[in-house]
Chains A and B, each alone.
Chain A
């Protein structure tokens, strides 16, 4: 997608949109961010996942030149966020957790002012504003003051404002917090479209399904540390085994089926007899072949079979749970199963 960006705005050489090493930010006694490393590949969606107060926003603010790191370094497309902050600002768009638009002005006025500040001419700024409002479905509300905007409209305007200069990297700090499910889905759609046009997106979220839905890679942050990093699948497999769900056609078979399952997979299973369903942890996928053969030879017909990977919720609880109570690993394991 190189042709999308002019020579000037084209990221220097980097396949890395973001490279952060050992970022630290302290507020008083509180080490809000305590040695965060992040590497985000250009053209991907990167999710930073963590509970409230984990240091997500502080990390983003440092990467977006809004806060100066106390230690560590960060580069955006190869440009240092402290030494070359003004260049970095030309490469990024930031949508904050609280809508960073002007409450007292109308949507059009907001976009026109931001466009003018970004160097567009008067007519060009007006055209750009109209174009973005149209695209984000805000044309009807364009002239109304923002005071009367709903949360979703405000977020959309906020995102629109971040896209004026078509920055190659966009920071979204909790883009869907407080939105209703429909608006949330719309927001996801918009974010996906952004990436399909070549932008890189770094988003923070406390919602696991959001990270699951959107992000190519995820970093889990807790208490200022990155506690896990990887693709969604990697994270899921790193914590728990997948589970196998079987459903028998005749519920009379269920006890026999259960015995076979436990024998072949060598694991405890759970049964819900009225549904005729057996659930068992699947540590070794190869054993499933044996299991199916055993079931066939015992003449037990199946009506359904599925494998479920652990959800990100489980991942999240396991990882951050360990961080909190490392010595009580028994109790946290109970959560994952």
Chain B
């Protein structure tokens, strides 16, 4: 060992807590790790590339005629719906991968480092927004190829895309929680699907709410996914900021406020 490597580190005073700024910095470093991992194993992006293409094609051509009379007039309804459904489904993978990641020895090192406890989780979730971005862009592109021309214009479409990504990031905290408490990666997938299927299908994503029975309409109307879908439709199709947008953002904030702390606590308690 040569002498240079055993030089003292800067005179950092010992503190028992990490500041918010440090936490953010640690999280971004962890996000950088997540991005490096994606670059090393690009095959893990298969699901976010194939699923939007496949689902958009299938749903549009299967339901288009039945629901809106023809495929073209169904596009403004289905594209925002399928977008929300696809991107949120993608966020399940976050939980699954987190579970796999946490079983590796490197998480022991993260735990033993003087870094913010939330950083390994927040970083992983942050890196995954790249997956949501890919899914979002592909869904809109597929819509465009099939003839979808949103009236809101490119600016509002971009805002809608951003909204979906932000909300999916928030929702991914739920799956991260499952990821931390579950024993195996496949059980994370299982639990998450059970939660997500009713939420995405019992919404206004694919069919008009009016066609459903009254008791179901009640649920569909309070379903946060419906609000998110409506918000995206408002933005992309008419270029308006509606009440649904506010509800979606508030919902996202509430999810993070509830699930981020309990996820970190569960993560800390795991051995």
Contact = CB atoms under 8 A, between A and B. Distances in A.
B112 A64 contact: yes
Interface in B209-228: none
Contacts of B26: 117
Nearest to B12: A8
B9 A89 contact: no
B12 A6 contact: yes
A100 B109 contact: yes
Interface string A186-218: 000010011001110000000000000000000
Contacts of B5: 131-132, 135, 163, 166
Contact of B113 (A114, A198, A199): A114
Interface stretch (B14-22, B142-150, B178-186, B192-200): B14-22
A118 B18 CA distance: 12
A3 B8 CA distance: 8
A171 to B, nearest CB: 8
Interface residues of A, number: 54
A151 to B, nearest CB: 13
Contact of A8 (B13, B18, B115): B13
Contacts, number: 127
B113 A89 contact: yes
A166 B113 contact: no
Given A64-B112, A117-B29, A118-B113, A90 B37 contact: no
B40 A104 contact: yes
Interface string A6-29: 111100000000000000000000
B1 A102 contact: no
8 closest cross-chain pairs (CB), A and B? A6-B11, A89-B114, A100-B109, A100-B105, A94-B112, A197-B6, A193-B1, A90-B114
A201 to B, nearest CB: 13
A104 B37 contact: yes
Contacts of B107: 100
A116 B29 CA distance: 7
Interface in B1-47: 1-2, 4-18, 26, 29-30, 32-33, 36-37, 40-41
A124 B7 CA distance: 13
A212 B152 CA distance: 76
Interface in A90-123: 90-94, 96, 98-105, 109, 113-114, 116-119
Interface residues of B, number: 40
Interface string A122-136: 000000000110010
Interface string B186-207: 0000000000000000000000
B106 interface: yes
B128 to A, nearest CB: 15
A105 B40 contact: yes
A177 B33 CA distance: 29
B112 A166 contact: no
A244 interface: no
Contacts of A105: 33, 36-37, 40
A178 to B, nearest CB: 14
Given A8-B10, A8-B12, A161-B109, 5 more contacts: A7-B13, A9-B9, A61-B271, A102-B106, A117-B29
Given A94-B109, A114-B109, A190 B1 contact: yes
Given A117-B26, A197-B6, A103 B104 contact: yes
B111 A90 contact: no
Interface of A: 3-9, 61, 64-67, 79, 83-87, 89-94, 96, 98-105, 109, 113-114, 116-119, 131-132, 135, 145, 161, 163, 165-166, 190, 193-194, 197-199
B16 A86 contact: yes
B114 A6 contact: no
A166 B7 contact: yes
B151 interface: no
B108 A96 contact: yes
Given A8-B11, A9-B8, A102 B112 contact: no
Contact of A90 (B10, B12, B108, B109): B12
A116 B9 CA distance: 13
A166 B12 contact: no
A190 B14 CA distance: 28
Contacts of A104: 36-37, 40-41
A334 B60 CA distance: 83
A92 B112 contact: yes
Nearest to B115: A117
14 contacts: A6-B12, A8-B13, A67-B271, A99-B105, A100-B105, A102-B106, A105-B33, A105-B37, A117-B113, A118-B115, A131-B4, A166-B5, A197-B1, A199-B6
A8 B12 CA distance: 5
A166 B41 CA distance: 32
Given A84-B16, A99-B105, A132-B5, A66 B111 contact: yes
B12 A119 contact: yes
A8 B10 CA distance: 8
A213 B110 CA distance: 31
A102 B5 CA distance: 22
Contacts of A3: 8
B102 to A, nearest CB: 12
